[in-house]
Amino acid sequence: MPRITVTVDGITYEEEVEPRLLLVHLLRDRLGKTGTPVGCDTGNCGACTVMLDGKSVKSCSVLAAQADECDVVTIEGLGRAGELHPMQQAFHAEHALQCGYCTPGMIMAAIDLLRDTPDPSDEAIREGLEGNLCRCTGYSNIVRAVRRGAREMSGETPAPATGGEVRTS
Amino acid sequence: MTEQLDAGLVGRQIAESDQLGDPKDGREVGRARRRKEDARLITGRTTWTDNIQLPGMLYVAFLRSPIAHARITRVDASAARARPGVVAALTGRDFADEQGSLPCAWPVSEDVVIPDHPPMASDEVRYVGEAVACVVATDRYKAVDALEAIEVDYEPLEAVLDMTEALAEGSPKVHEAGNQAFTWKFSGGDAEAAFRDAPVVIDRTYVQQRLIPTAMEPRAVVATTDGGSFTVYSATQIPHILRVMLALTTGIPEHRLRVIAPDVGGGFGSKLQVTAEEVLCLLLTRRLGKPVKWTESRSEGNLTVHHGRDQIQKISLAAERDGRIRGVRVDLLADMGAYLMLVTPGIPLLGAFMYNGIYKMDAYDFRCTGVFTTKMPTDAYRGAGRPEATFAIERTVDELAHELGMDPLEVRRRNWITHQEFPYATIAGLTYDSGNYEAATDRAMALLGYDKLRAEQADRRDRRDPVQLGIGVSTYTEMCGLAPSRVLGSLSYGAGGWEHAAVRVLPTGKVEVVTGSSAHGQGHETAWSQIAADALGVPFEDVSVLHGDTAIAPQGMDTYGSRSLVVGGIAVLRACEKVKAKAAELAAHLLEASPDDVEFSTGTFAVRGTSEGKTIQELALAAFAAHDLPEGFEPRLDAEVTFDPENFSFPHGTHLCAAEVDTETGMVRIRSYVAVDDVGHVVNPLIVEGQVHGGIAQGIAQALFEEAVYDSDGNLLTTTMADYLIPSAADLPDFVTDRTETPAASNPLGVKGVGEAGTIASTPAVVNAIVDALRPYGVNDVPMPCTPERVWRTLAGAAPPGSTAAGRGGAGESEGGER
């Protein structure tokens, strides 16, 4: 069995893995990183999105063996010194989640989107998150959250959270 | 190295951002509180059922029928037992003496046929995906591997796929008793008279395509036992109902069964079920004495999570030439699939009281025939019967408007119940307690810019623009807050519709609210905290809400049918009031005052006209210590309430959709979508808006994208998320939402419920917009989902491809006109 060395959320692991073992199953079943859920078998839903060497991947579509010598960050490793990542904070502030199952992947994908496009338009956000499906929110609040997260990550003071009555984007 | 998140710090950040909600006169109810639930969900500290690991846990995989209808002549699992890591490989025969039959709790009529529904088939399979064997192994890969070693011989039988053909003489039978599951009739007024000599009669046939609910969290079950008692963790909406049903199905005594719904990732009705896998996992842990876990793959889920909708609706509407509706007749065929599951036959009947919509009329006639086919059973999906009814009446009223050359909103105005007329007893026998359709419609028209868009539409028509504009209207209402128990009884439902709550003020003054509601994304922890904080005068942060575990919240009727706030939330309020009454009695005793002289204000009980008082926290400690209590006063400050509502609640609203339809490609683009909903008073506007958004998205998805497609042999073709298209962010517009507010008269909070409103309203708004755009081309219907191909074929005058055999009513099938 291949032996891999992989760093996950700052901890280095040495693991023997079956060649067919999926990264998401390594994370969930072996390393206890259950913050990253599985939503489909076909790479469509994006719930299992994590960062692999700084880029977002769907961990159901990556073999554990491919993560050898790689640095993986999951939703559990976001945020530093006990603080929420601005994107986590933004999802909370804009009510961008309901059941929360897609949320870890959505947050990781949103952060990756901003890496390429730090100040995306609404359309760019919608296109950029096309690979991450949410069944609860209808996406409007997710778009708002990503915008808010972008502002905070660029150091701007965020506008007060919108809430309640008539809202258009 | 990334440091671990500090729970306290995260909690503080969450608490700080929670202050963002706008406080209204210091009250919690009505405030846009950020959700308590979010802290664990945005940091990955969740307890999805699949996350649960127990010592010695084994993994279950099911072998499923690849054939829609067949006799099983042989199953041999012996080779699988020899595979590495395999602990057991079992077939339907192995479970025969213990598995019972999956329950149907809604025997809707005298003539209903409820076929035996073994959790694992042993003699005959009746849909693709039905379980025929299972493997239990030491890890999930080994379990799936060993399925290959199980041999099953099938003797194919004819698939039954089309409802009309299924009811015809000589059709192959799904069950020995035949393919008719039930018939059900309802009428109000004299439909015969209403249709006799009616100047205008509109006849239409609409197909509600089969949908797959597709909660993001796949189903999962963990079952464990200590030998005497059993615990089942399940991704379910209904831990309480599931406990009763598992006891009745397996014979395991109810008091030895505990059911836990941990974090549940969405349901939309699909987790309102008692599933084969839940029963079988329970039986497996009993048999093997080890904890077992099963988690479905998405493909397995598309095949075997119950489906929704799948009805053929024949609707006739009689009217005067001035647009006044005389009466409506509905004849419904409802596909049950292969078996009647928990509430399968009741789903179309939840719509039976809604085909009259918000309109006054003299007569209404409804009949429904439930039909067995060799497909996955149908059951509750967001809205459950009411989206179908709303679609049919809202589409038909648009057809009436077109027939009369009137604006669709003008026809509605002539027929709807005016705000002065509430409470209003409808022709379908319900009493709508409150509403203001005029206000919601006026607001929606203003937000959309209705008149301006109509002008643009006229211009595009004049110019013969290849991209036409349509404006779709949906003025819906729904019955929710399921439900008064006596009404459920009169409809032959097997249980009541009450809800339970317990409120405990702990010795330190903190509050525990125990609710029988079972949230899976709805935000009850936040909303119930707001209700309790106001009622008891305690800080929002001092309330915690416990739910979803029959050992912690032993009584409940769970979450579905937009019932949780209207029934469960009111139960919480009542329990708080009971606690308060108890606290007032104790305060009077300690203050040596008459109870009549004690006043309650923001958490303090004081003697009127004095500054002397006791806080609820002080009283909780005094009631806990129990040193000095009034005569007959039971220690502790807590109370329980079981609340049974007196009526349904009736949210309503006006949704307007402006859609551009490219007549050359068939592509539909929603240009703007406005929703003005009246859900009564609102506990948390942020949560309400989120529910509306998500609901609209699912309704749009039915209109434009989603369909469970079976081929002519009964194989499901849409087994993955690549084939069954739930919309992504790029597929949906932003939504403009607003609210009007007429309080519900049936409960003290004036709340109406909001979980299903968006889904009920939006589907007809979208399809009405598409048809409206294409009227100049002679189009009066486009079958759902209105994909570019369907729109294009409708325009080309060709019949859309019948992907399922069920009659795809296109433009050609409907007719309307003057009689």
pLDDT tens digit sequence for B790-800: 999 999 985 44
Structure tokens at B267: 């349901």
Q: What is the mean pLDDT of residues B563-590?
A: 97
- Which amino acid makes up residue B264? V
Closest to B482 in 3D by CA, of B682, B577, B346: B346
Q: Is B396 exposed, middle or buried (0-12, 13-18, 19+ CB in 10 A)?
A: buried
Stretch (H or E) spanning B783: none
The stretch B86-115 carries a mean pLDDT of: 97
Residue B755 forms contact with A (CB below 8 Å): no
In chain A, what residues touch B264 (CB-CB under 8 Å)?
99
Give the pairing type, strands B363-372 and B180-188: antiparallel
CB interface of A with B, residues 131-160, below 8 Å: 131-143, 160
Q: In the CATH hierarchy, which top-level class contains the domain B385-479+648-800? A: alpha beta
pLDDT of A169 > 70? The answer is no
A115–B contact, CB cutoff 8 A: no
Please say whether the dihedral angle defined by the alpha carbons of residues B690, B693, B699 and B704, taken in this order, is positive or negative.
Answer: negative
Q: Which of A107-111, A163-167, B757-761 has the lowest mean pLDDT?
A: A163-167
For B385-424, write each residue's pLDDT tens digit: 999 999 999 999 999 999 999 999 999 999 999 999 999 9
Judge contact between A134 and A95, C-beta under 8 A.
no
B809, pLDDT greater than 90: no
- Asked if the A3-77 domain carries CATH number 3.10.20.30, the reply is yes
The pLDDT confidence band at residue B239, using thresholds 50, 70 and 90, is very high
Average pLDDT, stretch A59-72? 98
Same fold, B50-157+219-295 and B385-479+648-800: no
User: Which whole number is the average pLDDT over B545-566?
Assistant: 96
* Encoded tokens for A18: 């079956």
Delimiting residues of CATH 1.10.150.120 domain(s) in chain A: 86-153
Confidence of residue B611 (pLDDT cuts 50, 70, 90): confident
pLDDT attached to residue B85: 98
Task: Give me the residue label for tokens 């309802």.
Answer: B186
- The confidence score (pLDDT) of residue B798 equals 52
Q: Are B804 and B161 in contact (CB under 8 A)?
A: yes
CB atoms A98 and B1 under 8 Å: no
pLDDT of residue A160: 52
Residue B97, token pair as written in the block: 């003496």
- Fold of the domain spanning B50-157+219-295: Aldehyde Oxidoreductase; domain 3 (3.90.1170)
Q: Are B2 and A73 in contact (CB under 8 A)?
A: yes
Cβ neighbours of residue B818 under 8 Å, at least 6 residues apart? B199, B200, B403
Chain B residues with CB-CB distance to A141 below 8 A: 690, 693
In the numeric block, the tokens 């990264």 are attached to A23
Task: Please check the confidence at residue A117 and state whether its pLDDT lies above 80.
Answer: yes
pLDDT higher than threshold 60 for residue A166: no
pLDDT at position A82: 76
Please report the pLDDT score of residue B805 as a whole number. Answer: 38
Parse chain B into domains and list their residue ranges. Answer: 7-49, 50-157+219-295, 385-479+648-800, 498-643
pLDDT value at residue B13: 54
Q: Give the pLDDT confidence score for residue B602 in this predicted structure.
A: 87
Tell me if residue B772 falls in helix, strand or coil.
helix
Q: What is the DSSP letter of A13?
A: E
CA–CA distances in Å: residue B593 to residues B174, B586, B657: 73, 10, 61
Nearest to B265 among A100, A130, A165 (CB): A100
In this prediction, residue B1 carries a pLDDT of 34
- Contact criterion met (CB below 8 Å) for B155 and B70: yes
Residue A163 pLDDT > 90 = no
- Mean pLDDT (chain B) is 94
- Which among B12, B13, B216 is the top mutation candidate for probing chain A, defined by the most A β-carbons within 10 Å of its own β-carbon? B216
8 Å CB contact of B216 and A169? no
B801 confidence band (pLDDT: 50, 70, 90): very low
Burial of B314 (0-12, 13-18, 19+ CB in 10 A): middle
What is the layout of strands, in order, in the sheet containing B598-601? B598-601, B604-607, B613-615
8-state DSSP, B307: B
Percent of chain B with pLDDT over 70: 94
Q: Are strands B736-739 and B424-425 parallel, antiparallel or unpaired?
A: unpaired
Average pLDDT over every residue of B494-513: 97
**Is the pLDDT score of B813 beyond 80?**
no
A157-162: long-range contacts, CB 8 A cutoff, minimum separation 24: A158/A90, A158/A93, A160/B20, A161/A93, A161/A94, A161/B17, A161/B20, A161/B34, A162/A94
CA-closest candidate to residue B761, choices B561, B476, B478: B476
Better-predicted residue by pLDDT, A1 or B743? B743
CATH H-level, domain A86-153: superfamily: [2Fe-2S]-binding domain (1.10.150.120)
> Which residue's entry shows tokens 């692999």?
A52
Alpha-carbon dihedral A97, A102, A103, A105, rounded to 10 degrees: -160
Coil, helix or strand at residue B606: strand
Average pLDDT, stretch B498-513?
98
Percent with pLDDT over 90 in chain B? 93
**Mutation site, B35, B41, B42, interface A, largest A CB count within 10 A:** B42
Instruction: Give B211's contacts (C-beta < 8 A, 6+ positions apart).
Output: B307, B308, B309, B310, B381, B702, B706, B707, B708
Least confident of A24-38, A153-167, B235-249, B781-795: A153-167
Average pLDDT over residues B372-381: 98
- Rounded Cα distance, A96 and B643, in Å: 32
CATH architecture of B498-643: 2-Layer Sandwich (3.30)
Which residues on B lie below 8 Å from A163 (Cβ)?
20-22, 32, 685-686
Tokens 């359709």 correspond to B437
State the average pLDDT over residues B466-483. 96
Q: Do A39 and B695 touch (CB under 8 A)?
A: no
Hey, are the CB atoms on A107 and B42 less than 8 Å from each other?
yes
Query: Which amino acid, one-letter code, is at B708?
Result: A
pLDDT of residue B5: 43
Q: Where in chain A is the domain with CATH 3.10.20.30?
A: 3-77
Banded pLDDT at A1 (limits 50, 70, 90): confident
Do the Cβ atoms of A84 and B42 come within 8 Å? yes
Q: Does B265 lie at the interface with A, CB-CB under 8 angstroms? A: yes
* pLDDT tens digits for range B668-713: 999 999 999 999 999 999 999 999 999 999 999 999 999 999 999 9
- Note whether B789 contacts A: Cβ–Cβ < 8 A: no
pLDDT of B627? 98
pLDDT 10s digits, B139-163: 999 999 999 999 999 999 999 999 9
Q: Give which of B174, B85, B81 is closest to B124, Cα–Cα.
A: B174
User: Taking a contact as any Cβ pair under 8 Å apart, which residues of chain B between 26 and 85 contact chain A?
Assistant: 32, 34-35, 37-46, 48, 50-51, 53
Contact A91 B38 (CB under 8 A): yes
